[in-house]
Amino acid sequence: MQGILITGIAGSGKTTLTKNYVNWPRKELNTKVCAVNLDPGVNDLPYHAIFDARKIVMVDELMASEGLGPNGALIRAMKFLLKELMS
């Protein structure tokens, strides 16, 4: 099994690249591909993810409940995800 991690700043096209990259080997190579979403701040996910961080924590909810801005909520969400996944 091999994996690819796609990272980048907000708005750089990570979600679009992932959608296209997941669909390409499925269609062209008839290969099984799985994707995960580690971004608790993404609004629309145009591909199926076998794991979606938003099922554990969402940035918008943290912004509202803890009075944080988008960057603070994203940092808080990562800490929360790490705690949940390590327990």
Instruction: State yes or no: pLDDT of 2 exceeds 90.
Output: no
Q: What per-residue confidence (pLDDT) applies to 42? A: 92
Say how far apart CA 69 and CA 10 lie, in whole Å: 14
Q: 63-72: b or e for each residue (b if 16 or more CB lie within 10 Å)?
A: beeeebeeee
Q: What per-residue confidence (pLDDT) applies to 85? A: 86
- Give the residue extent of every domain in the chain: 14-86
